[in-house]
Amino acid sequence: MFTLKAIKHALLMGALSSMLGNAFAADPAQAEWPTVTGDVKVGLVVPETGPLATVVGDSLKAGTEVIVSMWNEAHPDRAIKLTICNDEGNAERAITCVNSLKDKVDVMIGPNFGSTHAATKEMLGIKQIDVVHTPHALPAPTTGIFQVAVPTEDAMGEAIRYMKSHNIKKFGFMTSTDATGLSAREHGLKAAQELSVPVVDVQFDPGAQNLIPQVAKLASQGVDALFIWSTGPQVVTALRAIAAARMDVPVFLNYSSMSYDLMNLVKDVTPKELLFTGDDAFDTSGIKDQKRVEMIEEFNKRYEAKRGLSPDWMAYAYGDTFTVAMTAALHGADRDAMVKYLENGPDIRGFHAVWRYSPQDHIGVTKGVETPVRIQRWNGKRWVNAE
């Protein structure tokens, strides 16, 4: 169970550790910004239970424990005091969680999944900043919401460029009919059109228990690859249908499906070629910023000691949400000051990317700079660079 008691225990263990690193050492560019002291009340909305918890629960729990301990060791004068609300991956429950926290915390993290964020977005970023890792947030710069996930269009674009370079001439695109799926479909089809790659798209009800008809349609159209943009149990259902149809083509999943728990659930139906829209956190050899490499390596070491596995995408995502939120809180005493810092301060080293915001952009991935997306292959044990 992902509980406040467990987090507090982890923080105590972390405080006793002698391995205090410089992961969050200040950059010279931050010198012009004041440093604020005093504990920060952080509200975290996550699915501790429910279907999503079966595929991301252990990862987000361990990732949160690690990043909170790292931050509090580095910044004891601006420590995190965490309050957790279990939204069960349910939109109505997410609304209840936000209502219960919004008058009590200085910073909000989440809700972090497409449907739960969509249900609460009008309530967020008003009294405090809110940092989310759903790629479907796309917050307007007039809000106090900041995104730490590569947008769907960018991730799809990199996957399609990979397809083109590997002689894939037409791909099938599977999305659900909920808010997450509709957003993914819109941006994915746009990316395919811009890159002139034919696509056959099918949609499915998020509660569907059988996706064989949708897969049969894609098979009949002679697609060379499949891309499933979905999360959690829906991915399991789709992969089982692909296996039942005996389709032997590369299958792409989005980054939120880079979960050890999910890989364990589909180990009997894993395609021969299973690819993901990952990033260079999974292989730091291409990162030139040594301080960022050290931050990732310290996180990896602590995460592996805790869980016995290297971090997956969700673990790094919680590393990013806390890092961005708390860097803003370190240099801002209230919501407006935190917004000002994120919009005008220096770039923030993250795990999935280096996050750069402005008064015109709260998404964090600046157009025109090198994409942080790296196509990863599942080798049966972990994710490795596909190239």
Amino acid at 32: E
How sure is the predictor about 124, in pLDDT bands with cuts at 50, 70 and 90?
very high
Across the chain, mean pLDDT equals 89
pTM of the model: 0.89
Cα 176 to Cα 162: distance, rounded to the nearest angstrom: 23
The distance of Cα 126 from the centroid of its chain, to the nearest Å, equals 22
DSSP, collapsed to helix, strand or coil, labels residue 278 as strand
Is residue 135 pLDDT above 90, yes or no? no
Regarding beta strands 129-132 and 145-147, do their DSSP bridges make them parallel or antiparallel, or are they unpaired?
parallel
Is residue 77 pLDDT above 90, yes or no? yes
Average pLDDT over residues 354-363: 94
Average pLDDT over residues 206-214: 91
* Cβ neighbours of residue 148 closer than 8 Å, sequence gap 6 or more: 131, 132, 133, 317, 320, 321, 324, 350, 352, 353, 355, 364
Give the model confidence (pLDDT) of 79-92 as tens digits. 999 999 999 999 99
Average pLDDT over residues 49-62: 88
Q: For 36, how many CA atoms within 13 A lie in the half-sphere containing its CB?
A: 19
Give the model confidence (pLDDT) of 193-203 as tens digits. 988 999 999 99
Give the model confidence (pLDDT) of 276-312 as tens digits. 999 989 989 888 899 999 999 999 999 999 999 999 9
Given a contact cutoff of 8 angstroms between Cβ atoms, the answer to whether 101 and 46 are in contact is no
Cα-trace Rg, the chain: 20
Average pLDDT over residues 9-22: 44
* Cβ neighbours of residue 278 closer than 8 Å, sequence gap 6 or more: 255, 258, 313, 373, 374, 375, 376, 383
Residue 30, pLDDT score: 65
Residue 31, pLDDT score: 65
